[in-house]
Amino acid sequence: MKKTLMIATVAATAMSAQFATAARDYISIVGSSTVYPFATVVAEHFGKSTNYKTPKIESTGSGGGMKLFCQGVGVAYPDITNASRRIKSSEFEMCQQNGVKDIVEVLIGYDGIVIGNSINAKQMELTRRDLFLALAKQVPNPDGSESLVNNPYKTWKDVNPALPAKSIEVLGPPPTSGTRDAFQELVLEGGCKTFPWIKAMKATDKNAYKTVCRSVREDGPYIEAGENDNLIVQKLNANKNALGIFGFSFLDQNADKIQGSIVDGKEPTFEDIADGSYAVSRPLYFYVKKDHIGTIPGMKEFLNEFTSEKAFGSEGYLSEKGMIPLGDSERTNVAADIKTLKNLAM
């Protein structure tokens, strides 16, 4: 009898939970794991300084976030999705088909990707071309002909005589990671493009070009170290010969243990990433479902908090967390777009 009662109570709560959906009083945010550390800080400040509840933030990855976000309009679906890249046209269409018509796009800042090693080792001075040659699956034939061979390089010296004769050993994120996507796009492709005949392929055979420029070698030198950037930092500390790939905020926090390598003549410093001279950085966005503004309490205030000078400004608390802020004029534009809630058009 007791048990039946218990089951009945749980079933009853289940029903009431369904009604609870009808009035969600907190903002639900999904999306990129790169934006997650920044969005959470804003959410916390928002929760503490206003009477609204603290938004709930899930780290689902940029792609996963878009999928959830675009499922539909209504309290059951997230209000905001974070992304470490721009929304794709296919995703935009998916949104439109599911009735998510009005989306506001907000650019919040930049994130630098660092190639670093232990502070006890010598700082590396690399170019994107070096990194491409060292880490791509297929590279141009070393004899100079215009053909591709499987990556034959074993040491950095093989890649570029100016580099030390240490074996290539790079710890990086797995394919599911946004950092990996950005690394492939910004570093590998960037280095790949320096070969004119491969660059020419882009016009003739785009798919082949992408395969060549974005494939990471799988024969050992590139070691998948898991999504956890902290783990990469720890491993670099233990292995002086290895290089690692991680987000700038981890370099910022662990400056006593690791150093960033110079890429294309620039060190990954706050200033150089901010002004765009450090080549490996990517924009961070979030997307807002306009129909939810007014339905979910505090949406507008949250947007204002995120785009206030004290948050995403050049000396705001997000920059303390390692986000690279936008330039002054960019920030004014973003803040103005937020005021008018300008629709994203593609």
Residues found near another protein in the complex (CB under 8 A): 3, 6-7, 10, 13-14, 16-18, 20-21, 24, 26, 28, 36-37, 39-41, 43-44, 47-48, 53-54, 56-59, 75-76, 227-230, 247, 249-250, 252-256, 315, 317, 321-322
Return d(Cα 320, Cα 316) in angstroms, integer: 7
Of the pair 5, 345, the CB lying nearest another protein is at 5
Q: With contact defined as beta carbons under 8 Å apart, do 94 and 306 qualify?
A: no
Smallest gap from Cβ 2 to another protein, in A, equals: 9
Of the pair 17, 345, the CB lying nearest another protein is at 17
Of the pair 198, 251, the CB lying nearest another protein is at 251
Smallest gap from Cβ 263 to another protein, in A, equals: 20
Of the pair 252, 272, the CB lying nearest another protein is at 252
Of the pair 21, 343, the CB lying nearest another protein is at 21
Smallest gap from Cβ 101 to another protein, in A, equals: 21
Smallest gap from Cβ 162 to another protein, in A, equals: 31
The contacts of residue 30 (CB under 8 Å, 6+ apart) are 57, 58, 60, 64, 65, 68, 69, 78, 80, 81, 82
Residues facing 140 on adjacent strands: 148
SS3 260: strand
Smallest gap from Cβ 131 to another protein, in A, equals: 23
- Residue 163 is classified by DSSP as S
Kindly provide the b/e burial profile for residues 91-118, where b requires at least 16 CB atoms within 10 angstroms of the residue's own CB. bbebbeeeebebbbbbbbbbbbbbbbbb
Of the pair 70, 212, the CB lying nearest another protein is at 70
Smallest gap from Cβ 19 to another protein, in A, equals: 10
Of the pair 64, 137, the CB lying nearest another protein is at 64
Q: β-pairing, 148-150 with 138-140?
A: antiparallel
Return d(Cα 285, Cα 110) in angstroms, integer: 9
Of the pair 101, 310, the CB lying nearest another protein is at 310
Smallest gap from Cβ 330 to another protein, in A, equals: 22
By C-alpha distance, which of 129, 130, 149, 131 is closest to 139?
149
Question: Please, what is the Cα angle at 23 between 22 and 26, to 5 degrees?
Answer: 130
Torsion of CA 190, 196, 201, 203, to 10 degrees: 90
Segments of 128-257 assigned E as strands? 138-140, 148-150, 170-172, 222-224, 243-247
Smallest gap from Cβ 244 to another protein, in A, equals: 14
Return d(Cα 209, Cα 235) in angstroms, integer: 33
Kindly provide the b/e burial profile for residues 12-39, where b requires at least 16 CB atoms within 10 angstroms of the residue's own CB. eeeeeeeeeeeebebbbbbbbbbbbbbb
